[in-house]
Amino acid sequence: MIRLCRPLLLLPLLLPLLATAGPLEEGLQAFQAKRYPQALSLWRPLAEAGNANAQYNLGLLYANGWGVEQDPVAALEWYRRAAALGNADAQYNLGLMYAEGQAVFRSDPEAVKWWELAAAQQHPQAQFNLGVMYAYGRGTREDPGTALTLWERAARAGYGPAAGALATAFEQGLFGLSKDAKAAAAWRRLE
């Protein structure tokens, strides 16, 4: 069985903040220097004013206990706010929280809902996890074709676990595919 992927997403997700000057960028610099309380104090006013990136960043701080006491309920709340504003990373993390039952009752349909939104924004990890849900009919209908399509999109975006899933599917003839050693080797190279 191919498992959900739960990578720690951090700096790549925060890099868009470098394009803006001000408290977001200063918070990122503080974060990178592991001055988490300073990052928190810079991001909180922005988050409370409705900035989705700052809300997502606070979710990360609370989820990991960086500069604050670890609080999955607070992380959930900040991710929800950011996700409602369209932040794909927050949508992805909400999906993880529902899939794993962190600070919420475990709900595969809710995980699928949030990963659908993030995947629509080309979020490779969300595409991969959503593919797993379709492959095994977790929280949605079983649809191997959709799973393979999602994994291919994620793999072509450079997400190694998706390439690995495709390689395994071709090696073992899973999800309606015929065994194909050549295709499996090609996907393995991208893993």
pLDDT in tens, the chain (191 residues): 655 555 444 444 454 544 446 999 999 999 999 999 999 999 999 999 999 999 999 999 999 999 999 999 999 999 999 999 999 999 999 999 999 999 999 999 999 999 999 999 999 999 999 999 999 999 999 999 999 999 999 999 999 999 999 999 999 999 999 999 999 999 999 99
The angle subtended at Cα 117 by Cα 3 and Cα 50, nearest 5°, is 120
At position 35, the amino acid (one-letter code) is: R
| Contact call for residues 129 and 99 (beta carbons, < 8 A) | yes
What is the C-alpha R_g of the chain?
A: 18
SS (HEC) of the chain: CCCCCCCCCCHHHHHHHHHCCCHHHHHHHHHHCCCHHHHHHHHHHHHHCCCHHHHHHHHHHHHHCCCCCCCHHHHHHHHHHHHHCCCHHHHHHHHHHHHHCCCCCCCHHHHHHHHHHHHCCCCHHHHHHHHHHHHHCCCCCCCHHHHHHHHHHHHHCCCHHHHHHHHHHHHHCCCCCCCCHHHHHHHHHHC
pTM for the complete prediction? 0.89
Q: State residue 23's pLDDT score.
A: 93
